[in-house]
Chain A
Amino acid sequence: MNPDLQGRLFEPTAPYLVGREKVREFSRAVFSTNPLNFDPEAARAAGYDDVVAPPTFPVVVQEATLAQLLAEPDGGIDFSMVVHGEQRFSYTRPVVAGDELTATLAVTSIKTLGGNAMVTAESTIVDATGAHVVTATSTLVVRA
C-alpha cells in the first residue's frame, strides 16, 4: 500500500440521518436490552430527544469513510487482504435518533511490519451543528 496516505485528510461524507427504526434494528442485532435503545418515552425521561444508539452504532457512519480509504485510487489497498485489528470510540455524547451525522476521515498512521501494513484511520463524526459526537478509530492490517 501507498505510505503517502499518512496524514491525508478526506472530504466529509454525505450527511447520515439516524433513523429510529435503524437504531432499534441495530440494538436488536447487538443483543441490547436497554430501554433507551427502543423506547422514545424512556429516552425522553432520561433527557434525550429520541431513542439512543448503542455504543458501537457509530461504525455504521464510519463505514462510509473506510469505503473512501479503500477506494482511494493511489491507495493500493486490496480489500480482500484487510483484517480489522483494533477499534476504538471516543464519545462526547451518545448518538440519538434524528441526528444528522457527517464523518471526516484522516489517516493518522501507517506502519509496516514484516510486509504487512498497519493503517490507523480516524473518523471524526459531528452533528448538523458541527459539534463533535464521537471519533471512531480503526486499525486495519493490510496483509502482504
Chain B
Amino acid sequence: MILSVGDVVADHTYSLTRDSLVRYAGASGDFNAIHYRDDVAREVGLPGVLAHGMLTMGVAVQPVVDWLGDRGTITEYGVRFTRPVPVDPLEGASITVLATVGAVSDDDTARIDLTVMFNSETVLGKAQVRVAFV
C-alpha cells in the first residue's frame, strides 16, 4: 500500500474513568491498589489513583489495529512509560492518540509512531508499532 512518512493514519480520543480501571484490573489480573484506591496511591506519594500503564498502552494501539484491518499484522509494539495518567473520580481522564507513519520499508513493512497525550503532555515515549502488510 502507498504510505508516506508523516501521514496521519489515526487520530482518536478515549475517555478513561475509574470504571475503566476496575474493568482493566479484572481483565488483566493487575490488582495493584494504586489503580483503584486513592488512600493507597497517596501513601506512596502519588496524587491519586492512576491508570495502569498497560491500559494506556493497550488502548493506544487500538486505532492502529482498526486502521490496519486485514491488510497486515503487527510484528512489534513497544513503549516507554514517561508520565502517569491520574484518573479523577468525577472527570475521568481523556487521552488522545495520534498515529503517524514514522518509516516505510521496501519489504512491505512500516513503523507507525504514536503520540499519546493527557492534559497536553505526552504520557508514552518512543511508542512505536511495526506492521507487516500482506
List residues of chain A with CB under 8 Å of any chain B CB.
22, 25-26, 28-34, 46, 54-56, 59-60, 63, 80, 83-91, 93-94, 137
Which of A56, A83, A93, A94 gathers most chain B CB within 10 Å? A56
Cβ A89 vs Cβ B65 within 8 A: no
Q: Give the Cβ gap from B39 to chain A, nearest Cβ, in Å.
A: 15
Chain B residues with CB under 8 Å of A88's CB are 76-79
Chain B residues with CB below 8 A from A85, complex form: 80-81
The chain A residue sitting closest to B14, CB to CB, is: A31
Contact (A56, B58) CB under 8 Å given A25-B27, A26-B27, A28-B27: yes
- How large, as a class, is the contact surface on chain B? 20 to 34
Say whether B42 faces chain A, with CB atoms less than 8 Å apart. Answer: no
Mask for B29-70, Cβ within 8 A of A = 1, else 0?
A: 110000000000000100000000111011101100110001
B74 within 8 A of A: yes
Leading 3 A-B pairs by shortest Cβ distance: A88-B78, A30-B58, A29-B27
Q: How many A-B residue pairs have CB under 8 A?
A: 88
* B81 contacts A25, C-beta separation under 8 Å: no
A89 touches B80 (CB 8 A): no
Assembly CA distance A127 to B20 (angstroms): 30
Q: Which of B30, B73, B79 contacts A87 (CB 8 A)?
A: B79
Known: A55-B77, A86-B81. A32 touches B62 (CB 8 A): yes
Contact A86 B80 (CB under 8 A): yes
User: Could you say which residues of chain A place their CB within 8 Å of the CB of B65?
Assistant: 32, 34, 54-55
Q: How far is the CA of A25 from the CA of B59 in the complex (A)?
A: 14
Q: What chain A residues lie within 8 Å of B118 (beta carbons)?
A: none
Q: Are the CB atoms of A89 and B28 closer together than 8 Å?
A: no
B24, B26, B57, B74: the one contacting A91 at CB < 8 Å is B74
- Say yes or no: A91 contacts B55, CB within 8 Å: no
Excluding A29-B23, A88-B76, 14 further A-B contacts by CB distance (< 8 Å) are A25-B27, A29-B20, A46-B70, A54-B61, A55-B65, A55-B77, A63-B28, A80-B44, A84-B81, A85-B81, A87-B81, A91-B73, A94-B73, A94-B74
